[in-house]
């Protein structure tokens, strides 16, 4: 018989960060989860927990890691985790966070993107304790009669009451029937997986509750649902999404992640600290209070945040190096991972910038120099033609703006 930590110890971990937007829903779900956790501990049976991810792109960003980290907590407490890839729902598109219909994709496109999803998710989840499944296996097998029976459990009014649908309805914009089916499909996932708990973002609450409705209609014990706040994107306003370009990819280079985090709007610090770091709540509260009181500069707090996030996905050493490189860039020095160009003969700076790939063309190089945006060893360049470099055994640094660097080294 498996042994699990005490109920209250598990509850303290699992309920951290949970947000429903409705106090009664929170009370109900917390009560049901405590009952399930207690039964699991008494019976020595792990809970079955899942979260679904639609492969709308081939990369995961920090927003995806919020539910992934909660799945990892369930794993560490001894429970069974299912990483469900929405290879069928992903062909329809979840309308939960949209005020317009999503572009549909084919099953082959979804399957291709799913390959990268799984590999990246295992950087957060325990590979040995994770079951990966795909919902096209059962959703693709439903016939029209099955869909009608699922739909008979809901009313049109229930769907039109959803915020995103109601706004489109008021504006007279089209709401396509296939968008209604998304919640039915996600609810059917819960039936096929026979889950105890499903987790997702706060925008997913309607879909998660649809799973409870359908499980109940099939004579099953409804799953507990846990929802979590949405991570904002780099713009500090909209949810993080690759489609809107405000994302931070977990596979991006350490320096890119560090720079994006440091450049976040100051007000996003608490949102990121609470959702994507390993810090304790006490530590987060302390830093937030110090920033508010003026005892810590917001930029210092974000540098600590950036180092922590890089360390999570690239390791502690990479986090340290990214912090050092950022300080060097602030002082006009090239980061350690700046690209190199080996200089074998004398070249004008204009030719060198083009040949190295630092710019797309000589025309772009000329324009940047004319605008005063190019520095050579810290000095602004006035003319890229008359300024030339020859192999002399010394390293030279070309800088464009604040973030683009090129190390020029002499051929041996």
**For the chain, which residues make up each domain, given as ranges?**
7-228, 254-330, 340-410
When mean pLDDT is compared across 96-110, 126-140, 391-405, the lowest value belongs to 96-110
Pick the CATH number of 7-228 from 3.40.50.620, 3.40.50.300, 3.30.70.100, 3.30.450.20: 3.40.50.620
* pLDDT tens digits for range 315-340: 999 888 888 877 766 555 566 667 77
Report the C-alpha gap between 383 and 369 in whole angstroms: 7
Instruction: Specify the pLDDT at position 97.
Output: 46
Nearest 5°: the CA angle 223, 132, 109 is: 110
Please give the order of strands across the beta sheet that includes 224-228. Answer: 130-134, 80-85, 48-53, 197-201, 224-228
Instruction: Specify the pLDDT at position 101.
Output: 45
Predicted model pTM:
0.72
Query: How many residues would you count in the chain?
Result: 412
Buried b / exposed e along 297-306 (16+ C-beta atoms within 10 A): eeeebbbbbb
Instruction: Specify the pLDDT at position 109.
Output: 83
Superfamily of domain 254-330: Tyrosyl-Transfer RNA Synthetase (1.10.240.10)
Q: Residue 33: pLDDT band by 50, 70, 90 thresholds?
A: very high
Percent of the chain with pLDDT over 90: 35
Instruction: Specify the pLDDT at position 343.
Output: 78
Listed residue (350, 337, 346) closest to 376, CA to CA: 350
Pick the CATH number of 340-410 from 2.40.10.170, 3.40.50.920, 3.40.630.10, 3.10.290.10: 3.10.290.10
- Does pLDDT of 201 surpass 50? yes
Contact 88, 140 (CB under 8 A): yes
Report the C-alpha gap between 252 and 254 in whole angstroms: 7
3-state helix, strand, coil in the chain (%, to 5): 50, 15, 35
The pLDDT mean for the chain works out to 85
Instruction: Specify the pLDDT at position 330.
Output: 59
Residue owning tokens 């030339």: 388
Backbone φ and ψ of 368, nearest 5°: -65, -40
Instruction: Specify the pLDDT at position 229.
Output: 87
Q: Tell me how far the alpha carbon of residue 86 is from its chain's centroid.
A: 16
Positive or negative torsion for Cα 331, 335, 338, 342: positive
The SS3 of residue 393 is coil
């Amino acid at each position: 018989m498996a042994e699990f930590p005490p109920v209250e110890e598990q509850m303290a971990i699992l309920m951290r960060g949970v947000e429903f937007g409705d106090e009664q829903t929170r009370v109900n779900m917390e009560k049901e989860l405590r009952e399930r956790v207690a039964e699991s501990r008494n019976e020595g049976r792990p809970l079955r927990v899942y979260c679904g991810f639609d492969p709308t792109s081939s990369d995961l960003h920090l927003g995806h890691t919020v539910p992934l980290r909660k799945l990892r907590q369930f794993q560490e407490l001894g429970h069974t985790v299912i990483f469900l890839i929405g290879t069928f729902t992903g062909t329809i598109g979840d309308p939960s966070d949209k005020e317009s219909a999503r572009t549909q994709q084919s099953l082959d496109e979804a399957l291709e993107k799913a390959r990268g999803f799984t590999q990246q998710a295992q950087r957060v989840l325990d590979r040995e304790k994770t079951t990966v499944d795909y919902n096209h296996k059962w959703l693709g097998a439903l016939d029209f009669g099955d869909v009608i029976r699922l739909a008979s459990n809901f009313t049109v009014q229930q769907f039109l009451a959803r915020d995103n649908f109601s706004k489109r309805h008021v504006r007279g914009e089209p709401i396509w029937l296939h968008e209604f089916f998304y919640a039915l499909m996600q609810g059917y996932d819960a039936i096929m997986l026979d889950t105890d708990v499903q987790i997702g973002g706060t925008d997913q609450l309607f879909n998660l509750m649809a799973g409870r409705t359908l499980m109940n209609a099939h004579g099953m014990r409804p799953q507990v649902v846990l929802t979590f706040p949405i991570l904002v994107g780099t713009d500090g306003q909209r949810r993080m999404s690759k489609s809107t370009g405000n994302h931070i990819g977990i596979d991006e280079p350490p320096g890119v992640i560090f720079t994006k985090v440091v450049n976040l709007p100051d007000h996003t610090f608490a949102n990121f600290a609470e959702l994507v770091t390993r810090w304790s709540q006490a530590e987060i509260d302390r830093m937030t209070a110090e920033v508010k009181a003026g005892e810590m500069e917001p930029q210092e707090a974000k540098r600590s945040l950036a180092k922590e996030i890089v360390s999570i996905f690239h390791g502690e050493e990479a986090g340290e190096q990214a912090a050092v490189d950022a300080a060097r860039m602030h002082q006009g020095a090239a980061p350690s991972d700046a690209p190199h160009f080996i200089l074998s003969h004398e070249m004008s700076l204009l030719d060198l910038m083009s040949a190295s790939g630092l710019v797309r063309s000589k025309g772009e190089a000329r324009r940047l120099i004319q605008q005063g945006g190019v520095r050579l060893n810290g000095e602004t360049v006035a003319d890229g033609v008359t300024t030339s470099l020859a192999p002399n055994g010394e390293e030279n640094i070309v800088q464009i703006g604040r973030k683009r660097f090129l190390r020029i080294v002499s051929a041996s």
